[in-house]
């Protein structure tokens, strides 16, 4: 596709459930970023890949959060044992050369 695609767009999870969020970056884009955005806040950095290498995961809030990009294209953000504070919009962005980044529409996660 022409842009960054994220799925699902909306996810409701019961507390304690595991979830997996998918990001399809723009074809050929080397860099891929995950952000968490709470209502009324700016996007908070979670993690960053160059190709399949996870160069920075300093923003992952706990060891319940795990991201992978095994073939340097599609990425998955997994959250284990979801908690209410995990409710947020999860944004994925990709960049050709680490410069200008383009965002997907996000996955709105609600933990009940």
Rounded to 5 degrees, what are φ and ψ at 37? -125, 115
**Interface residues toward other proteins, by CB under 8 A:** 31, 33, 35, 41-45, 48, 50, 55-56, 91, 93, 95, 98-106
Nearer to other proteins, 14 or 100 (CB): 100
Name the minimum Å distance from CB 16 to other proteins: 27
Name the minimum Å distance from CB 10 to other proteins: 12
Name the minimum Å distance from CB 31 to other proteins: 6
């Amino acid at each position: 596709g022409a842009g960054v695609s994220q799925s699902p767009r909306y996810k409701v999870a019961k507390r304690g459930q595991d979830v997996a969020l998918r990001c399809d970056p723009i074809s050929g884009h080397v860099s891929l970023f995950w952000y968490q955005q709470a209502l009324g806040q700016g996007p908070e950095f979670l993690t960053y890949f160059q190709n399949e290498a996870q160069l920075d995961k300093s923003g992952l809030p706990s060891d319940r959060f795990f991201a992978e990009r095994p073939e340097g294209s599609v990425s998955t953000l997994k959250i284990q044992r979801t908690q209410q504070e995990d409710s947020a919009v999860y944004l994925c962005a990709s960049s050709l050369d680490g410069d200008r980044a383009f965002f997907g529409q996000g996955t709105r996660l609600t933990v009940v």
